[in-house]
A and B are shown apart, each in its own frame.
Chain A
Amino acid sequence: MTIMTRMLTASAIALMAGVGAVQAQTSITVAIQLEPPNLDPTGGAAEAIDSVVYSNIFEGLTRFASDGSVGPGLAKSWEISDDGLTYTFHLQEGVLFHDGSDMNAEDVKFSLDRARAEDSTNAQKPLFAQIADVSVTDRLTVVVTLSQPNGSFLFNMAWGDAVIVAPETAATNATNPTGTGAFMFVNWVQGDRIELTHNQFYWGAVPELETATFRFISDPTAAFAAMMAEDVDVFVGFPAPENLPQFEADPRFQVIVGSTEGETILAMNNKVAPFDNPLVREAVAHAIDRQAIIDGAMFGYGTPIGTHFAPHNPAYLDLTGLSGYDPERARELLAEAGLPDGFTTTLRLPPPSYARRGGEIIAAQLREVGIQTEVTNVEWAQWLEQVFGAKDFGLTIVSHTEPMDINIYANPEYYFQYDNQAFRDVMDALTATTDPDGRTALMQQAQTIIAEDHVNGYLFQLAALTVAKAGVEGLWPNAPVAAIDLTGVTWAE
């Protein structure tokens, strides 16, 4: 029997055992809102893809831990040259892809070259932009040479878009993902669920969970019902925060509240009047009452932020004081800017409830200081085209969920069109710096610049809301990346 057949037989037996009992202690059913469109994290931007496959099916050279730190993944160790241009990665021994083939330096070269190729459809191509060359020194050693030093290179390689794939199976990963992770793909019933089984031949610790099933429930009422009826064991990203107190009070369930990398902002179109006037932007900042938005839209779940940075990050600077709730000051600033009677603008809201609900509250708050908003609800596809692409908006609310994405402010073409050379200089310096203290100082400088300029209205950091049955342990409370890492999850005795 080939390794593959052995693995499949073992998993088939495990599946049958798991399916029989409604709540077998070695199987788990995890529900999320959105179904991934496909299962190749290197070919699509949908977060849902990472939710299912990151660290479960696929792995990269480095990986994120639950606290957001970057640690070894398929690369067990590495050396960085003094000039910061050469990274030598030493790969783990005995790693097999799920089809039984060997994982070695050739596969790493293949994956990185594929991602940075001219015709690559990788959604995060900039992550690989500085790679000048990838070469294989021996079976388990890869040398990556950068064209310029990049302090975030190891961080970048931990992203889902940088996982290692095999040339034989790369083309079919979208429907039949073949990676190196602790779980193997079994089956995808489109529209309903994805089934995984544990990898008996995993190079690390084989997970205690034998089978895992992901289900997709987008409707918040259905999510509540599914949890209450005990149809699912865990719901990650529970969409109805108003129900959480009920779950907390119920001994059958536990509620885990953590933080995400999602900075929710009221974005202002910096190149379009009147938002090109810094006084107007500051007025908007003071017109907003963050806590009211958190209470009203998110039922109290969420942390106020004063700049575009995650509060759980050690380098975070609390600048909420610069944009405190002060409608009087807002009206004064508007008068100073020559708009004593306020003005009218558009507020485009994408589908998530933080935008729709938050938007209603913000519209009311802005009205108090004389700013009238034309609220339009748009779908994501329209938002991408109108707001993100054509920059046809005054205000919009969106949450940026990529980790350490403050560098979007260095791109004057990015949808809110902030153009500040001083900020770009700080970002360039940050890229070139690898020493931790230096990096922290520069990150704080960056946060201060965009807070003082009031580029956008910084609202709150999205909370990670997970509801689970009381016996589940090992779930990540925080979501430093959109992943649901099941490798450490177990059922309590």
Chain B
Amino acid sequence: MIAYVLRRLVSLIISLIVASLVIFVVVEIVPGDPAAYMLGMNAQPDTLAALRAELGLDGSKVARYFGWVAGMVQGDFGTSYTYRTPVSGMIADRVWVSLPLALYALILSTLIAFPAGIYAASRRGRAGDMGVMAATQLGVAIPNFWFAMVLVLIFAINLGWFSAGGFPGWDKGLWSGLKALTLPAVALALPQAAILARVMRSSLLDMLGEDFIRTARAKGLSAGQALWRHALRNALIPVLTIIGLQFSFLLAGGIIIEQVFYLPGLGRLVFQSITQRDLIVVESVVMLLVFAVIVVNFAVDLAYAVVDPRLRVRV
């Protein structure tokens, strides 16, 4: 077990190093000078040079890479070129929007998908199953930015139940914050719910065909009891894997949704920073997201390995 943990830890660190190199290289070769962007069309060459020196853009790239990595290890993500404030502060502010949004969407998606998937599996081949399958087929095919606009049109503009976007801040109250995140969360959740429902359904159906279920039925359990007491627990494993994947998608994939609802989240920060050539923000935020996903995967793998020794040999 120790050997397994150590091996995984080593590959975790290697992954992080490779990721940081890839990120740094890709961002640094993006053409465009942050100083020129900030000073605009009338800037003189000497002003540009002064600004570049101030931002620390003059040094060698190698030096800047090591400076960046060393800083990150200590929790210092650098200083934004555009805003001149510490990146860690900007990330902290934005995380409080993106993280709750991702969790909210995940909870909504699970709340819709689980009952739908279980219902469909229990009614396999019959009208109920067909209905759910048709709905999920549609849900998967709808582009979420189009769906977001429809939601805004109906619920914000026509009915006025929600605002069309924006985020008032958690200091104005938990309720108002959640309200502002509701339409975005729904727009994110529905396509994910569709996928999750189908995974739930097919995973359950696989389980229901297994021998141990037949044994349970033979022992006298009803179909429903067999489903609830035995199939569901085992069916959850692939479902949980998908949920984990969805979470990382939701965290950073919300760029378009954040744009449509003008939410001050991580996605929009990255998008704006790329436009403004605020390289340090882009590098740090992407690195942070990758780090989060890799670490979560590591933790999940460890958890699986503890629970099921067979899984220590990767299948």
Taking the nearest CB of chain A, how far is it from the CB of B95, in angstroms? 12
Question: Is A192 close to B, CB under 8 A?
Answer: yes
- Considering the complex, which residues of chain A in the window 176-234 have a beta carbon less than 8 Å from any beta carbon of chain B? 189-192, 215-219, 221-222, 225-226, 228-231
Nearest B residue to A223, CB-CB: B262
Binds B, one of A61-69, A81-89, A301-309, A384-392: A384-392
Taking CB atoms, residues of chain A closer than 8 Å to B37 are 380-381, 384
Contact between A385 and B164, CB atoms less than 8 A apart: no
Indicate if B36 sits at the interface (CB-CB under 8 A).
Answer: yes
Q: Residue A228 contacts which of B40, B54, B164, B277 (CB distance < 8 angstroms)? A: B164
A229–B51 CB distance below 8 A: no
Contact A222 B165 (CB under 8 A): yes
Closest Cβ of chain B to A420, distance in Å, is 20
Q: Could you tell me the distance between the alpha carbons of A386 and B34 in the complex, rounded to whole angstroms?
A: 14
Decide yes or no whether A38 CB sits under 8 A from chain B. Answer: yes
Stretch at the interface among B82-90, B243-251, B288-296: B82-90
Q: Are A219 and B262 in contact (CB under 8 A)?
A: yes
Q: Does B209 contact A (CB under 8 A)?
A: no
**Bound-state Cα–Cα, A402 to B50, Å:** 23
A192–B172 Cα distance when bound, in Å, is 14
In the bound assembly, the distance between CA atoms of A400 and B167 in angstroms comes to 34
Q: Is A444 an interface position by the 8 A CB rule?
A: no
**B14 at the A interface (CB under 8 A):** no
Chain A CB within 8 A of B275 CB: yes
- Pairwise interchain contact A381-B259, C-beta atoms closer than 8 A: no
Q: Which residues of A contact B149 (CB under 8 A)?
A: 221
Q: Which of A246-288 contact B (CB under 8 A)?
A: none
A376 beta carbon closer than 8 Å to chain B: no
Instruction: Tell whether, in the assembled complex, residue A121 and residue B93 are in contact, meaning their CB atoms are under 8 Å apart.
Output: no
Cβ contact of A216, chosen from B38, B46, B84, B262, cutoff 8 A = B262
B26-49 CB mask vs A (1 if < 8 Å, else 0) is 000001111011111111101100
Given contacts A381-B275, A381-B277, contact A121 B42 (CB under 8 A): no
A175 at the interface (CB under 8 A from B): yes
A46, A221, A231: the one within 8 Å of B163 (CB): A231
Residue of A nearest to B165 (CB): A222
Given A37-B83, A121-B47, A125-B47, A44 contacting B165 (CB threshold 8 A): no
Query: Which one, B67-75, B113-121, B152-160, is touching chain A?
Result: B152-160
Given the interface pairs A122-B47, A221-B260, the reply to whether A45 lies near B39 with Cβ below 8 Å is yes
Q: Which of A118, A120, A379 contacts B275 (CB 8 A)?
A: A379
Q: Is the CB of A381 within 8 A of B32?
A: yes
> What residues of A have a CB within 8 angstroms of the CB of B165 in the complex?
217, 222, 225-226, 231
> Could you mark each residue 256-291 of chain B with 1 if its beta carbon is under 8 Å from any beta carbon of chain A, else 0?
000111101100110010011100000000000000
Contact with B along A109-143 (1 / 0, CB 8 A): 00000000011111111100000000000000000
Tell me if B128 counts as interface (CB < 8 A to partner A). Answer: no
When distances are taken between beta carbons in the complex, the residues of chain A under 8 Å from B156 are 225, 228-229
**Contact residues in A for B265 (Cβ distance below 8 Å):** 191
Contact between A126 and B166 (Cβ–Cβ < 8 Å)?
Answer: no
The smallest C-beta distance from A92 to any residue of chain B, in angstroms, reads 29
Asked if A174 CB lies within 8 Å of chain B CBs, one says yes
Q: Is A382 an interface residue (CB 8 A)?
A: yes
Chain B contacts for A400, CB-based, 8 A = 41
Residues on the B chain within 8 Å of A388, using CB: 36, 41
Contact partner, B54, options A118, A121, A230, A384, Cβ 8 Å: A121
A119 lies within 8 A of B276 (CB): no
Q: Does B94 contact A (CB under 8 A)?
A: yes
Tell me if B177 counts as interface (CB < 8 A to partner A).
no
Instruction: List residues of chain B with CB within 8 A of the CB of A190.
Output: 83, 85, 90, 93, 264
For the complex, what is the distance from the CA of A44 to the CA of B83, rounded to whole Å? 11
B139 at the interface (CB under 8 A from A): no
B169 interface residue (CB < 8 Å to A):
yes
Known: A121-B39, A125-B44. A384 touches B33 (CB 8 A): yes
Instruction: Say whether, besides A38-B82, A175-B84, A175-B85, A225 and B152 are in contact (CB < 8 Å).
Output: yes
**Nearest opposing residue in chain A for B259, CB measure:** A219
**Beta-carbon contacts under 8 Å, A369-416 to B:** 379-382, 384-386, 388-389, 400, 402
Taking a contact as CB atoms closer than 8 A, the residue among B36, B85, B269 that contacts A381 in the complex is B36
Whole-angstrom CA separation of A207 from B50 in the bound complex: 38
Q: Determine the distance from Cα of A192 to Cα of B262 in the docked complex, in whole angstroms.
A: 8
Complex interface: chain B residues within 8 A of A123 (CB): 39-40, 42-43, 47
A217 to B264, CA, bound (A): 10
| Chain A residue with the shortest CB-CB distance to B145 | A221
Q: A189 touching B264 by the CB < 8 A rule?
A: yes
| In contact, B42 and A381 (Cβ under 8 angstroms) | no
**Given the known A-B contacts A123-B47, A231-B165, are A38 and B260 also in contact in the complex, defined by CB atoms under 8 Å?**
no
Contact of A226 among B84, B164, B264 (CB under 8 A): B164
Say yes or no: B166 contacts A231, CB within 8 Å: yes
With a cutoff of 8 Å between Cβ atoms, the chain A residues found around residue B43 in the complex are 45, 123
Check if B275 sits within 8 Å of A44, measured CB to CB. Answer: no
Do residues B40 and A45 form an inter-chain contact, with CB atoms below 8 A? yes
Chain B residues with Cβ below 8 Å from A218 are 259, 262
Closest to A129 in B: B44
Residue of B nearest to A384 (CB): B36
Which residue of A38, A216, A226, A381 is within 8 Å of B83 (Cβ)?
A38
Q: Is A118 a contact partner of B269 (Cβ separation < 8 A)?
A: no
Residue in B closest to A189 when the chains form the complex, CB atoms? B169
Q: A191 with B269: in contact, given A229-B163, A231-B164 (CB under 8 Å)?
A: yes
| B41, A45: Cβ atoms closer than 8 Å | yes
Q: Which of B34, B50, B84, B164 contacts A222 (CB 8 A)?
A: B164
Q: Smallest Cβ distance from A403 to chain B, in angstroms?
A: 12
Find out whether the CB atom of B40 lies under 8 angstroms from the CB atom of A381: no
Query: What chain B residues lie within 8 Å of A121 (beta carbons)?
Result: 39, 47, 50-51, 54
Closest to B160 in A: A229
Find chain B residues with CB under 8 A from A126 CB: 42, 44
Q: List 23 A-B contacts (CB under 8 A).
A: A35-B272, A37-B38, A45-B38, A46-B40, A125-B47, A126-B44, A191-B268, A192-B264, A216-B262, A218-B262, A219-B260, A219-B262, A222-B262, A225-B156, A226-B164, A229-B152, A230-B160, A381-B32, A381-B37, A381-B277, A382-B32, A384-B37, A386-B31
**Measuring CB to CB, which residues of chain B are less than 8 angstroms from any residue of chain A?**
31-34, 36-44, 46-47, 50-51, 54, 82-85, 90, 93-94, 149, 152-153, 156-157, 160, 163-167, 169, 172, 259-262, 264-265, 268-269, 272, 275-277
Given contacts A174-B84, A382-B32, 8 further A-B contacts (CB under 8 A): A190-B83, A221-B149, A222-B261, A225-B157, A226-B262, A229-B163, A380-B275, A384-B37
A-B pairs, 6 with minimum CB distance: A45-B40, A191-B264, A381-B32, A225-B164, A37-B82, A229-B164
